[in-house]
Structure 1
Amino acid sequence: MIGKIHKQMSHDSWLFSKMATPEYTPFVFLLLLFQSSVWGFPVCQTPQESPTCGYKSCHATKPGMLNVHLVPHTHDDVGWLKTVDQYFYGDRNDIQHAGVQYILDSVVDQLLKNPDRRFIYVETAFFYRWWKQQTDDMQNTVKQLVNEGRLEFVNGGWCMSDEATTHYSAVIDQMTMGLRFLNDTFGHCGRPRVAWHIDPFGHAREHASMFAQMGYDGFFFGRLDYQDRNRRMVAREQEMLWRASESLTPPMADLFTGILPNGYNPPEGFCWDQSCDDPPIRDDPDLEDYNVDDVVTRFLHIAHGQALVYKTNHIIMTMGSDFQYENANLWYKNLDKLIRYVNQMQSNGSEVNVLYSTPSCYLQELHRANLTWPLKGDDFFPYADSAHDFWTGYFTSRPALKRYERISNSYLQTCKQLEVLGGPISRKGPFGAGDSETLKKAMAVAQHHDAVSGTEKQHVANDYARKLANGWAHCQVLVSNTLSSLSGSSAPRVYCEHLNISVCPLTETSKKFSVNVYNPLARPVSWPVRLPVNGTAYRISDAKGKAVDSQVVPVSQATAAVRRGRGYAVNELLFQVQAPPLGYSTYSVSLLQNGPPSPQSSPLPRAPKAVQNKFLRVTFDPETGLLSSLSNLETQQTVKLSQNFYWYNASDGNNSESIQMSGAYIFRPNTSTPFIISKTAKIETLQNSVVQEVRQWFSPWVSQVVRLYTDSRALELEWTVGPVPIGDDLGKEVISRLDSSINSSGVFYTDSNGREVLQRRKDYRPTWNLRQSEPIAGNYYPINSRAYIKDDKDQLTVVTDRSQGGGSIQDGSLEIMLHRRLLYDDVRGVGEPLNETSDIYPEGLVVRGRHLLSLSPPATAADTHRPLAQEVVLQPLITFTDGELHPSTRLEFSGLQAVLPPAVHLLTVSQWDQDTVLLRLEHQYQASESKEHSQPVTVNLQKLFSTLDVLGVSEMNLSANQWKDEMTRLDWKAESGEKGRHYKCPCQITNHTVTQTLGLYFFHMIL
């Protein structure tokens, strides 16, 4: 097998093998390493480039003329007004006429009729479905079209992901899935050269960084703030070089970026789809309705006007739109005529040349122009399409779905890791056939810009959640098989998915059970466990048989109310667990006493003066019951800090300035001053050796627990909001606001897709002079995992458990939107108000979540908030077994030989095919973010896994679809005079060690 592997490999490699254990049949693996974007093993041995695909397939242009690149395309949302299934099959056309399978059928048929024609396709989730239904002959035909460059894939991810509310790890996963299919199916000619995000509602710097590290030559999008666009049109700066990382050495994260002239629609009057009303080209001169001259004149006028706001003699026109080309003949017949008649005018002196093209062919001409381009260093948030229409509401829309997506990502990473650690038995073991693919596809679809964004119809949101739940079910079988194999116990595993509201039938009834805690991080974690129980005393022992301190406390009134009969536990059992890196630890729980709760565990009906542990001290105002200060006892810092809940009344469109309403996309409060829910809170206080908590009730629909665990450096605020009242016929946008003594000077900071952090300044944009027209909504930004304010001495960081919107409207203040309930549609297409209800909450959705607060000196704050955010994103998986464990059960396991350095994050461990595994490691600190951790780090791959020996390494790009040393990107020159350089690995590989510099991903592939 080793010889066979060497024969297949085209690169020198070190090899490693999987060691034989009783659970495995020994077999050989190959480890490959990729960085800054990845290290790894390509999906397949791709053939040499066909002489006609890629840049070589582009039609010739004419120097000295204005070359107009017509790009036939369709934009196929992976769910929006209809579900993914309904869109593919063309079902529910009463909602929207759209059928993706017919689009692909029709386009292929029309491409075959004229070799000059071109078409681009984006959403691999749909193409994959269509491809699987085709005959061998049709598949061969499509391969020929791809090899000749007539059908070109752009972007190529499973979907076109949202950029505001997605986490970078989930984006990388969905891109890898789509690109792998294209690579497997079409080889080199199927690899996209261009990233294409024509519909997302604002654009994140981290997305551009990822695209650059995935090997894309350029990036095109359609939406940006109207003020930014106007300025760029005047300055002819609609095409730029986006420097998308402050840590990576240019041009590693540099990405040429272009703004499309008309969103993603055709020019006005030139839409020839069956869904359009524009007249066709009538070219019979004997007929009265002959219109060729009028069409040509109008087109030339549009082309010349567009050329005035771009920099070269090449312009691009997107000829298509949402779900168009179901009858591709309509488009192509008219486009053929348009090209013919416009180009005929060249004989009369016209200097306009029109051609079928693709985004990559257009990009190639811009590159050939050999110009310098303006630099862009920030991002494109927030996005407004007019003065009072800020698309900042979707940062928070559908908060329950956003949380479900986030924990599904955590569960998927655990599922993939255990698939590797368990080997073949994980997929077919004692508990049946399990798989990770179902959840991978569900999570990939959930990254779509009308999925996790919360901008879809309610029935579509329900379908996304259903798909995630189905993926969980498949992974649960896999996880059970692996944990059974690793532990040697065949006891059935129980999964309790509603622990956040204290529901778990097993723990509520069992007198003896075990708790298995799997940690997906590459460092040990300490994690608080809260289990619903009906006993009053329990004995808990860890994997070594040592007693663990535990406490039993009454379930809060808020939790009992939110359960709605789904659980009947009167108490919660609290204890702290420790879990090893990439491994599990098992805790045994035995009931000692039934009966009424002890008086010592009952909460006291008053606010404490303070709660504290050895790290933090939190004080409360005895009159209001609200927070009054936060102290870091290690650094002797104290800030005044209050926290409360407010709401903004949503605009209903009845306004003298604008008729714009708040909706799923747009946040528009009807006043700049929020309404306080209550100036005081009803209080209960509970203090014991495990936790101290202050339970606050602000109203019948808002409550919170301020919680401090014994060994925690973070203060937990567990909020519960809903049903949001609408009896006053006003929609409401509910926020939690922190007001502190920190002198933040109008500045706060947010993460970009969970990775690098960007500075935000009130009423300010780095690249243009902002005319602020919405003082609240225009100062909201996406918060994916954390945000903070700081001054010279203090930094207050808030870690979120899902993507949310927020801002710093006043100095020293940080507000985060928690829930939105709206009564009007915002007229952006979804066609229904964001008024979520369910069978359990028919009067309005109830949402529960957590914010974690930390206080640190700015110089060391990242050392606390990065690992804290990481633990929330990749939280431990808790499973249960009933009864007493067999004495031979293995109670503890780690998949690593040693803890990885704090700067290194194990991003991906995933089975690639039967004999290969994809591993991604990442240096997670920005330049100058941490004095200790923003330094190069060395990892010994030979000593990485406890069950694998390294034999070989070869580097890949971030999306694992190219060898890194074969990844060449177009060089671009910035207006600063800096020339682009070839993309080089900022790492050192020596024997079995890798030294990694800042901000880099690197990945390994295991055969």
Structure 2
Amino acid sequence: MTEGKVSTMAADRQHLSTAVPLLFLLGGLSAFPLGPEKSAGVSCGYESCHPTKPDMLNVHLVPHTHDDVGWLKTVDQYYYGDRNDIQHAGVQYILDSVVDQLLKNPDRRFIYVETAFFFRWWKQQSPAMQETVKQLVNEGRLEFVNGGWCMSDEATTHYSAVIDQMTMGLRFLNDTFGPCGRPRVAWHIDPFGHAREHASMFAQMGFDGFFFGRVDYQDRARRMLAREQELLWRASDSLTPPLADLFTGILPNGYNPPEGFCWDQSCDDPPIRDDPDLEDYNVNDVVQRFLNIANSQSKVYKTNHIIMTMGSDFQYENANLWYKNLDKLIRYVNARQASGGRVNVLYSTPSCYLQELHRANLSWALKTDDFFPYADDAHDFWTGYFTSRPALKRYERISNGNLQTCKQLEVLGGPFSSTGPFGQDDSLTLQRAMAVAQHHDAVSGTEKQHVANDYARRLADGWRRCQVVVSNALAALSGSMAERFYCDGLNISVCPISESSKQFSVSVYNPLARPVVWPVRLPVNGTAYLVSDAGGRPVDSQVLPVSRATREVRRSRGFAVNELVFQVRAPPLGYTTYSVTLRTAGAPAAAVQRRAAASIQNKFLKATFDPETGLLSSFSNLETNQTVQLTQNFYWYNASDGNNSASDQPSGAYIFRPNSSTPFLISKTAKTEIVQGSVVQEVRQWFSPWVSQVVRLYADSRALELEWTVGPLPIQDDLGKEVITRLDSSIQTGGVFYTDSNGREVLQRKKDFRPTWKLRQSEPVAGNYYPINSRAFIKDDEDQLTVVTDRSQGGGSIRNGSLEIMLHRRLLYDDVRGVGEPLNETSHVFPDGLVVRGRLLLTLDRPAAAADTHRPLAQQEVLQPLLTFTEGAPKPDTQLEFSGLQAALPPAVHLLTLSRWDGDSVLLRLEHQFQSWESDVGSQPVTVSLQKLFATMDVLGVSELNLSANQWKDEMQRFQWRPEEEERPLLKPLEDPPSWEVTLKPMEIRTFVLRVRLR
């Protein structure tokens, strides 16, 4: 790197370090990572830990509260303490009470997790109280852990949304408290199983360790015997250790206090009665019970330090109860030291406990898989929530794509995007709604129905506000002030403008950094249309009748009789415009032939159907000359009602427990119709009044689309139903299949097997289900069949050569995990039971090249093009096509984040989307020039941050840990020097703040 560039980078770093006030996220707060320097009198983090005693058993008491960002009550109800008839919980009172009690004793400690709640409380405090709280933080008496907007679910979240919500929460803490506000540990005490990708992300966010409470009961039993409840998690098979290594601790009591030591107002345990003149004096009894518990716990952990969580759900609303008894507990237990006692009790935090484990300088058991599935008893597998509330899961995924588009256009459209002709707004509302939706009782589907409705309402409100941003930005980029319309019901053929207008334009915005070919399907009432692209060239199109299944699912929300289908080519990080005009005369809509389908094919793929059954029978890749036998059908598992001899556990929002390992076949045959044309070929299948499907193949597609429609699930027989689709192939899998982890790295799964312990399988179906966030596949030496999903779902490979995916659930009993109501979704549109529509994309490839197809396909499914509509033909001076990039990024590189940061700065994340072993071509390192990236912005300066954008990358220092398998110390890998040229290695995400100038 030249001397001139060095000085430019240094000047830029200075510019970024003294950033202008944050305009776009939280209002008036400094927005940049702060250096290691601290003001006088500050002693937070590891420096604030109480001393321990090396020759004793040190018991670290961690006062905490676990505050769900929605579950039984909405996030607002939880904050204010409303609807206490459902659950007594009021977060604002917890924080009021804790701060008051911390001020009374400087030894006391408290940790807080959910920034969504703390942010709300902070805004309501007086300046004097804010200063008081800052002092508590600076002294380490109030410590933030985890620090995300919420404590996200780990099974059903997409990594991009997790990174966003963590960035939002950590940024607020940085802005408000500086270095003392930065959490040192990740804290996921309540999620129901733990994903490897989460650990990888936490490591890249700079966390020194990770603690959680829930682990499979068999796994815990083995780890207790082996004293391996604390371990080193190697969370990537592509990133060089220790980049994705994370020390991980399993807490001893979930996240609750030891039995008999809960002193919250919600608890019934007796307080410490320490007046010796009273008859019910119990100090000796309390101390002895505590010593027994501490000594017992020490036998299943590795060091002379143990941790005890002192708190639970929404506790500390009256913090005096807790602290008064904890003060006494510490005093009376430690008093035994004078007479030879070997136990030392202290107020602590997870980071202080972690520091002592690090000081022990031991080697730790190494783990490279994940913690799915999770079971807390033999017949209690928490695998149902992988699919619960499938409509909400899809809406969350769509909202994520809409948010990324909104943030990108805020940047590309400049200031005009927030204050343009269509009003004043920004992406903040949708950012917060999406952040809240990542909570482990939100997108997971494990909340009460009224809370699920509230999450959806928040997402809808956020998108309504983002539509203002999108309209303003597209107006600025195109020069057209025409009103734009949005059609959010296209998946059920509802779009008022296309249904009623004789001439309109469609703008297609592509949020990916590579060009895409995308099928557009618009509900129309004409039979012939002229479609032309941005250059005025005619585009091949096809009109076909709306299917009966679509008419039934949309009900009275639309009236189109046909659909207009054409394929668009959208530029990278940009838009293109298509004009649509009704022809007064033309060919009629494509005929629907009510006959058995033989096959459909394009130049890449062929799908063959059995003429007797109407079912898919084989699938071929014509480019590679591959064919597999493939049958696909729909089944349902009879959900357990808890009334059988093996166990009284019913299926519910969390738990999947079928009554039998053999599902019920919905129909042996499918009635079929076939529609064929130059743009798309469809085989429409009807399996029952509540299950239908369209098997669809577009002209230029390398994926076969299965659009399924399921519901209302009948319950007149008093049986809860868990509906699956199953693909049975000729591929020889040997009980092995593969799933993604939060949309990123792929993990191998094997039937009835766990890599780290000998499994005693008691639920042969539920115990073999895993989260599928974006894709799953089966393969042998010759063939790989990949299924890309449009939302998070659960699935497994129960039979050789088979892959099944759960689509929908309707249950009649609660599973006794707290939610208190059955998962039986209805709505005003579907009072007889929810109807859900979705799609699966199937690809067939050689295993060595499959990732080159399914990786970009999965990204395209997450970040779908956004369509906006205007009446009439575009005006002559309208710019009909635009790209925000000078050139498309290489195929291996994904533009993960582009959002406004501060003033003239933007946040950019670039990601290498291949694992190191996946592709001969795609898995190679790739270099990108930041200066040559954007078409409409000059990059004036750049500084690199950690993944969560709350530390400078070169200042991020983490504890180094030694795995038992490697006695040599791990060395920090050499970093690339700061440069305009950025090299990405497999699975690497690099985060930058760029100072830019719009051209």
Tell me the TM-score normalised to structure 2 length: 0.97
After the TM superposition, which residues 595-994 of structure 1 pair with which residues of structure 2 at under 5 Å, given as runs? 598=588, 601-981=590-970, 983-984=972-973, 986-987=975-976, 989-990=978-979, 992-994=980-982
Answer with 945-954 or 580-589: which moved more.
945-954
Please state how far the C-alpha of 1:42 moved relative to its aligned partner: 3.0
Change (3 A) 1:705 1:980: farther
CA distance in 1, matches of 2:14, 2:82: 51
Matched-pair contact (CA < 8 Å) for 2:9–2:942: no
Give 1:139 deviation, angstroms: 0.1
> What is the alpha-carbon distance in structure 2 between the residues aligned to residue 716 and residue 978 of structure 1?
50
2:877 is paired with a residue whose SS is: coil
Amino acid at match of 2:51: A
Whether contact under 8 Å (1:123, 1:160) holds in the other structure is yes
Q: 1:829 to 1:980 in 2, by over 3 A?
A: farther
**SS of match in other structure, 1:473:** helix
TM-aligned CA deviation for residue 928 of structure 1: 1.2
Letter of the structure 2 residue corresponding to residue 128 of structure 1: F
- Shift of residue 989 of structure 1? 4.7
1:575 is the counterpart of 2:566? yes
Is 2:813–2:821's contact at 8 Å kept on the other side of the alignment? Answer: yes
1:431 match: 422
Q: Is the 8 A contact 1:16 1:950 kept in 2?
A: no
Return the alpha-carbon distance in structure 2 between the equivalents of residues 14 and 310 of structure 1: 45
Matching residue of 2:994: 1006
Q: What residue number does 1:485 align with?
A: 476
Give the Cα–Cα distance (whole angstroms) in 2 for the partners of residues 108 and 47 of structure 1: 26
Counting aligned pairs with the same residue, the percent is 78
The match for 1:400 among 369, 374, 391 is: 391
Task: Write the distance in 1 (CA, Å) between the matches of 2:61 and 2:968.
Answer: 30
Aligned equivalents of 1:865, 1:127: Cα separation in 2: 40
Alignment of 1:554-593 (within 5 A): 554-593=545-584
Alignment of structure 1 residues 439-458 onto 2, 5 Å: 439-458=430-449
Shift of 1:994: 1.5
Task: Show the counterpart of 1:95.
Answer: 86
1:469 matched residue in structure 2: 460
Q: Does 1:48 align with 2:22?
A: no
In 2, the alpha carbon distance for the partners of 1:984 and 1:690 equals: 50
Partner AA of 1:406 in structure 2? R
| Distance (whole Å) between structure 1 residues aligned to residue 685 and residue 128 of structure 2 | 67
Report if the CA contact (8 A) 1:69-1:314 is conserved.
yes
Q: Is the 8 A contact 1:41 1:1004 kept in 2?
A: no
CA RMSD of aligned residues (A): 1.8
Distance 1:15 1:365, change over 3 A: closer
Corresponding residue of 1:240: 231
Seen in structure 2, the aligned counterparts of structure 1 residues 947 and 822 have a Cα distance that, compared at 3 Å, is same
Are 2:347 and 1:356 equivalent residues in the alignment? yes
After the TM superposition, which of the residue ranges 805-814 and 975-984 deviates more from structure 2?
975-984
Q: Name the residue aligned to 2:367.
A: 376
Among 180, 190, 198, the alignment partner of 1:199 is 190
Question: Could you list the per-position Cα deviations for residues 165-197 of structure 1 after superposition, in whole angstroms to 9, with x for gaps in the alignment?
Answer: 000000000000000000000000000000000
Contact kept in structure 2, 1:41 and 1:954, CA below 8 Å: no
Residue of structure 2 equivalent to 1:57 = 48
Provide, for residues 644-683 of structure 1, a one-character-per-residue CA deviation record: whole Å limited to 9, x for no partner: 0000000000110000000000000000000000000010
In the alignment, which residue of structure 2 is the partner of 1:3?
none
1:156 counterpart (147, 165, 169): 147
| Contact kept in structure 2, 1:342 and 1:353, CA below 8 Å | yes
> Which blocks of at least 5 consecutive residues in structure 2 are unaligned?
1-5, 22-29
Name the SS of the counterpart of 1:949 in structure 2: strand
Cα contact 1:14–1:951 (8 A) shared by 2: no
Equivalent position SS for 1:394 = helix
1:16, 1:488 → 2: CA distance? 33
Shift of 1:865: 0.3
Shift in Å, 1:899: 0.7
Query: Which has the bigger relative contact order, CA under 8 A and spacing at least 6?
Result: 1
Distance, in Å, in 2 between the alignment partners of 1:971 and 1:492 is: 56
CA deviation after TM superposition for structure 1 residue 13, in Å:
4.0
Asked if the contact 1:664–1:825 (Cα under 8 Å) also holds between the matched residues in 2, the reply is yes
C-alpha separation between the residues in 1 aligned to 2:529 and 2:203?
54
How much does 1:883 deviate? 1.4
- CA separation of 1:909 and 1:226: change in aligned 2, threshold 3 A: same
Cα deviation digits, residues 334-353 of structure 1 (max 9, x gap): 00000000000111111000
1:933: how far off? 1.1
Contact 1:251 1:980 in 2 (8 A): no
Q: Does 1:115 align with 2:103?
A: no
Aligned to 1:73: 64
Deviations 1:21-45 (CA, angstroms, capped at 9, x unpaired)? xxxxxxx999xxxxxxxxx993456
SS of the equivalent of 2:908 reads strand
Give the CA deviation at 1:942.
1.3
1:24-423 maps to which residues of 2 (within 5 A)? 42-43=32-33, 47-48=37-38, 51-423=42-414
The answer on whether the counterparts of 2:240 and 2:973 sit within 8 Å (CA) in structure 1 is no
Kindly state the Cα deviation for residue 753 of structure 1 after the two structures are TM-superposed: 0.1
Structure 1 unaligned regions, length at least 5: 1-5, 18-27, 31-39
Do structure 1's residue 504 and structure 2's residue 509 form an aligned pair?
no
Q: For residue 331 of structure 1, what is the amino acid of its counterpart?
A: W
Shift of 1:916: 1.7
Choose the corresponding residue for 1:517, options 508, 517, 521.
Answer: 508
Distance in 1 (CA, whole Å) between partners of 2:184 and 2:759 is 34
Amino acid at match of 2:357: L
Q: Distance in 2 between matches of 1:283 and 1:14?
A: 59
Q: Is the 8 A contact 1:118 1:150 kept in 2?
A: yes
Spell out, residue by residue over 1:784-842, the C-alpha distance to the aligned partner (whole angstroms, 9 max, x if none). 00000000000000000000000000010000000000000000000000000000000
Cα offset, 1:981, TM superposition: 3.7
Contact preservation (8 Å) 2:403, 2:431 = yes
Residues 489/238 of structure 1: CA separation in 2 closer, same or farther (3 Å cut) = same
Moved more, 144-153 or 978-987: 978-987
